[in-house]
A and B are shown apart, each in its own frame.
Chain A
Amino acid sequence: MYKYNDFDEAFVRSRVAQFSAQVARRIDGSLTEEEFRPLRLMNGLYLQLHAYMLRVAIPYGTLNSGQMEQLAHIAETYDRGYGHFTTRQNIQYNWPKLPDVPAILTDLADVEMHAIQTSGNTIRNVTADHFAGAAADEVADPRPVAELIRQWSTDHPEFQFLPRKFKVAVSGAEADRAVVKAHDIGLYLREENDEIGAQIIVGGGLGRTPMVGKVLKDFVSLSDLLPYLEATVSVWNLLGRRDNKYKARIKITVHEHGIEDIRALVETRFQQLKPAFGGVDMEMLAEIKAAFAPPAFREAATEPYEAAYEADPVFRSWADTNLSAHKAPGYAIVTVSTKTPGQTPGDVSADQMRVLAGLARRYGHDELRISHEQNVILPHIHKADLPAIHAALKEAGLATANIGLVSDIIACPGMDYCTLATARSIPVAQGIATRFEELKLTHEIGPLKIKISGCINACGHHHVGHIGILGLDRAGVENYQITLGGDGTEDMVIGDRTGPGFAYDEIVPAIERILLSYLELREAPEETFLEAYRRLGMAPFKAALYPAKESGKDAKEAKEKAHAA
C-alpha cells in the first residue's frame, strides 16, 4: 500500500491545523455560517437532517488493518459506534459534534487518512475496482494510477472552484466493477503494443440527467495521462455552465458542445500543457507503483477449504456467493456482506470493523477494500484460511451469503439522514431484503442488482440497477419510481421507467410482483433477471406491476407474448 511521504504528512497535518482554527473561529462567533460553510465542505463536513456528517475519503477503497481499527476508534469515541460505507468508497460518520471534528481529523491523520475534497466543487475521492491487485481478470492494477491522480488533484490550485463536483474512477480489469462510465472521467487501463495506457471516458453521470460516458480518447499512454486529464478538466473549467448548477456537470458540457469539439479543445490544451509536466509525473508514478507491489503470496495446500466445502452447507453457500477468482493460485477474494436482511446497507459497527481488521492482519496481507456496493473486501485470502475466516465472520454477524443477490442492495442514506433527500431509501432496502428472506427466494432468484436512491441526485445509482428505485416527494407523500434493465458494467445501460410510482407501503409488494413474474417467465434458472428483461422487454413486468391499470385482455396478451418470446 502507498505510504505517505513527508510532503503528504505535512500537507494533511497543516490542513488539520487550518481547519481546527476555522472550527474554533466558528464556535467563538468570529465566522458566520455563510463564511464557514464552504470551509467545512472542503473538509468533508456536512450539516445533515439530524446532525453533522463527516465524510472520510478511502482513496480507491483501500485500507490497512490499522486504518480500519482507527475508523472503529473514531466511531466509538466520537460517534454512535458505527460507520457507514458509501457508494463512492468513503466512510461517513452520522453523528459527530462540531467541537470534536478537529480531534477526529487528527486521529485520521495519525493513520494517513483525511476528509479533504470529499465535498465541494472539487475533484473528489478517486475510486477504483475494489478487486484491484487481486482480480484474475486484471490487466493492470488501477491503484497506482488512482494514487497518482489523487496526488495531482489534491489541492490543485486551478481546480478548487470548479463549476460542480468532479468524480474520477479507474478500472484495470476486463469486467468493470467501478461503474466507470457513470463518472465525469473514467479510465479503463489497457495494454497496447506491450504498453499500459488508458482509454479515457468522459461525461458519464447519473443524477437528474443520467448519461453514459463517451470515449474521449481510445488510448493515452501513462506518460501523457496527467497532462491529458489536466487538459480535460481545464477545458471544462472554462466551458462548464456556472449559471445553472443543474447544467454544470461535464456530461452537460459534452452533450451541449459535442464530443468532437471537446476532443479538439482537449487536444489543443494538452499540447500546451504537456511540456510543463517534464516527466516528474512518471517519476512519481514509478515510486507509487513500488508501494503497490503484490504481497508475497504463499504456496500451500487448499484441502481445508475443500473439506469444509464438502462438509458444511452453510460454508458452501457462503463460498458460492461471496468468493471471487484471485490471480494467485490457491487464493480467493472474499466479499464480506454488510447486507444482512434487515440491516442498513453499508453500516458496520466498531466491533465488526475490529474483527475485519484482525482478519486482514492475520490472514489477508493486511489489506481491506471498500466496494462502491457498500461491502467490505478481504482481497488476498488463501483458500486454506477460508473456514477460519467464515467462522470468525459468522460470530461477528458478517457471514451473510448474499453477494450479488436480491438482498445485496445499494441504498443511499435517504431521508433518514440526508438533507437533500426527498424520500427514505434505507427502510425500502430493509423491507425488500427481509421480504425475500421470508419467501426463501434469494438464491432462487439469482444474480440481481437492486439500487435505491432517496432523491434525484442518484447516490444510490438507481439508473443502473437491474431494478432501480427512486424515492420522491409527491405532494407531501413518499413515492417511489421503478426503473428496469439498468446495467452498471462496461456495457452500461440506463434503466427504463415502468410508469407511475408507488407509495411507501406499496413499493416492497411491487418489487415482489416483478420478481415473481420473472420466476414465472424465465426460460431456465440460468437466465438472470437482466437477461430475461432484455429478452422480454417491459410489457410483462408492467402488466405484473399495474394489474388494475391494464385491461384484462391487454395483460393477458402481454403475458402470452412474453411466454411466446
Chain B
Amino acid sequence: MSRVFTPKAITANALLEGDVIYLDHAGQWVRDLRMARAYTEKEMAEAALNEAARDLTAVGAYLADVKLGEHGPEPTHFREDFRRTGPSNYFHGKQEAQRGTDAHV
C-alpha cells in the first residue's frame, strides 16, 4: 500500500547568497516559507521539483515536509525550522531581517 502523501514545499539555496529559498505559487523563489506553495499532490510536487532542479539560480532543490498553518506553510521537522529562521545561537539569521515584521517569525 502506498504511503499517504503529506504536503511539501520546494526549497533550495540561492546560488549567489546561499540563502534558504522556497518556490511560491507563481514559480518564483522567495525567502519566506509562509509565501511558499504547499504541494498536496505527489505528481505535481515531483514535476515542479524537476523544473526547479533545472533552475541554475537555485542549488540543491528538494521537497520538504510542511503543514498548513494559519499564515501559510510551516515546517514539521526541526531542521527545516532552523533553515526557516536561522541559527539559534545568535539572532542574526532571518530572525534579524524579519524582526518586528511579524511576531510569528
- A-to-B contact residues, CB < 8 Å: 26-27, 29, 32-33, 47-52, 80, 95, 97-99, 344, 415-417, 424, 426-427, 430, 473, 476-478
Q: Are A476 and B87 in contact (CB under 8 A)?
A: no
Given known contacts A50-B83, A427-B88, A29 and B56 CB-to-CB distance under 8 angstroms? yes
- Smallest Cβ distance from A34 to chain B, in angstroms? 10
Which A-chain residue is minimally distant from B65 (CB atoms)? A476
- Say yes or no for B17: interface residue by CB 8 A criterion: yes
With A33-B60, A50-B83, A416-B82 already in contact, the answer to whether A430 and B89 are too (CB < 8 A) is yes
A-B contact list, 27 entries, CB within 8 Å: A26-B15, A33-B15, A47-B18, A47-B60, A49-B20, A49-B79, A50-B20, A50-B86, A50-B87, A51-B13, A51-B18, A97-B18, A98-B15, A98-B17, A99-B16, A344-B90, A415-B78, A415-B79, A415-B82, A416-B87, A426-B87, A426-B89, A473-B78, A473-B79, A476-B76, A476-B78, A477-B78
Closest chain-B Cβ to A454's Cβ sits at a distance in Å of 11
Which residues in B have their C-beta under 8 angstroms from that of A417?
87
Contacts of A27 on B, CB cut-off 8 Å? 15-16
* Complex contacts, B94 vs chain A, CB 8 Å: 50
Residue in chain B with minimal CB distance to A31: B56
Closest to A81 in B: B92
For the complex with contacts A49-B79, A50-B83, A50-B93, 6 further pairs of A-B residues with Cβ separation under 8 Å are A27-B16, A47-B60, A49-B83, A50-B94, A52-B18, A415-B79
- Across the interface, A47 reaches (CB within 8 A) one of B59, B77, B86, B92, namely B59
| Least CB separation from B96: chain A residue | A80
Q: Which residues of A contact B79 (CB under 8 A)?
A: 49, 415, 473
- 3 shortest interchain CB distances as A-B pairs: A416-B87, A51-B18, A52-B18
Q: Which A residues are in CB contact (< 8 Å) with B89?
A: 344, 416, 426-427, 430
B46 within 8 A of A: no
For the complex, give the distance between the alpha carbons of A344 and B89 in Å: 7
* Complex interface: chain A residues within 8 A of B17 (CB): 51, 97-98
Give bound CA distance, A156 to B16, whole Å. Answer: 31
Shortest beta-carbon distance from B19 to chain A in Å? 7
Q: Which residues of B contact A97 (CB under 8 A)?
A: 16-18
Known interface pairs A47-B18, A48-B18, A416-B88; A33-B83 also in contact (CB < 8 Å): no
Q: Which residues from chain B contact A33 at a C-beta distance below 8 Å?
A: 15, 56, 59-60
Report yes or no: A476 in contact with B83, Cβ–Cβ below 8 A: no
Q: How far is the CA of A99 from the CA of B18 in the complex (A)?
A: 11
Contacts of B15 in A (CB 8 A): 26-27, 33, 98
Whether the Cβ atoms of B77 and A98 lie closer than 8 Å is no
Closest to B54 in A: A32
Complex Cα spacing A240 to B20, Å: 36
Q: How far is the CA of A27 from the CA of B79 in the complex (A)?
A: 28
Give A476 Cβ to nearest chain B Cβ, in Å: 5
- Complexed CA–CA distance, A27 and B89 (Å): 31
- A50 CA / B60 CA spacing, docked (Å): 13
For residue B93, which residues in chain A have a CB less than 8 angstroms away from its CB? 50
Q: Are A424 and B88 in contact (CB under 8 A)?
A: yes
Min CB distance B30 to A, Å, is 16
Set of chain B residues within 8 Å of A29, measured between Cβ atoms: 56
B76–chain A nearest beta-carbon distance, Å: 8
Quote the shortest CB–CB distance from B24 to chain A (angstroms): 19
- B85's nearest neighbour on chain A, judged by CB, is A50
CA A496 to CA B42, docked complex, whole Å: 45
In the assembled complex, the CB of A406 is this many whole angstroms from the nearest CB of chain B, namely 19
The reply to whether A98 and B16 form a contact with Cβ atoms under 8 Å apart is yes
Residues of the B chain whose Cβ atoms lie less than 8 Å from the Cβ of A51:
13, 17-19
Q: Which residues of chain A are within 8 angstroms of B59 by Cβ–Cβ distance?
A: 33, 47
**Distance in Å: Cβ of A303 to nearest Cβ of chain B:** 43
- Chain B, Cβ-Cβ closest to A425: B89
A426–B82 Cα distance when bound, in Å, is: 13
The docked-state distance in angstroms from the alpha carbon of A427 to that of B89 is 6
Chain B, Cβ-Cβ closest to A99:
B16
Chain B residue numbers with a CB within 8 Å of A80 are 92
Give the residues in chain B near A476, CB-CB below 8 Å.
Answer: 76-78
Task: Give the nearest-CB partner of B93 in chain A.
Answer: A50
Query: Which among B76, B77, B82 is the interface contact of A49 at CB below 8 angstroms?
Result: B82
Known interface pairs A416-B89, A426-B89; A50-B18 also in contact (CB < 8 Å): yes
Minimum distance in angstroms from B68 CB to a CB of chain A: 18
